[in-house]
Amino acid sequence: MKVILLKNIDNLGKKGEVKEVANGFARNFLLPKKMAVAASPGNLKMAREMKQGEEEKRKKGKINLRELKKKLAGKEVRIRAKASKEGHLFAGIGADKINEVLADAMGVKIKPSMIKLNKKIKTLGEHRVEVKVGDGRVEVKVRVEKE
Same structural domain for residues 95 and 132?
yes
In a domain, 98, yes or no: yes
Same structural domain for residues 6 and 37?
yes
In a domain, 119, yes or no: yes
Domain hosting residue 120, numbered range:
73-146
Question: Quick check: 22 pLDDT over 90?
Answer: yes
Q: Of 62, 82, 105, which one is at a domain's C-terminal end?
A: 62
Same structural domain for residues 136 and 107?
yes
pLDDT at position 63 is 66
% pLDDT > 70, the chain: 98
pLDDT tier at 122 (50, 70, 90 boundaries)?
very high
CA distances from 88 to 13, 52, 127 (A): 51, 53, 14
**pLDDT tens per residue, range 54-107:** 888 777 766 677 778 888 888 888 999 999 999 899 999 998 999 888 888 888
Same structural domain for residues 96 and 117?
yes
What 110-116 contacts at long range (C-beta under 8 Å, 24+ apart), as own/partner pairs, is 110/68
In a domain, 13, yes or no: yes
Task: Read off the CATH number of the domain in which 14 is found.
Answer: 3.40.5.10
pLDDT at position 47 is 82
**pLDDT tens per residue, range 23-61:** 999 999 999 999 999 999 888 888 888 888 888 877 776
Same structural domain for residues 141 and 77?
yes
pLDDT at position 103 is 84
Distance CA 35, CA 5 (A): 6
In a domain, 77, yes or no: yes
Task: Read off the CATH number of the domain in which 130 is found.
Answer: 3.10.430.100
Distance CA 51, CA 55 (A): 6
pLDDT at position 46 is 84
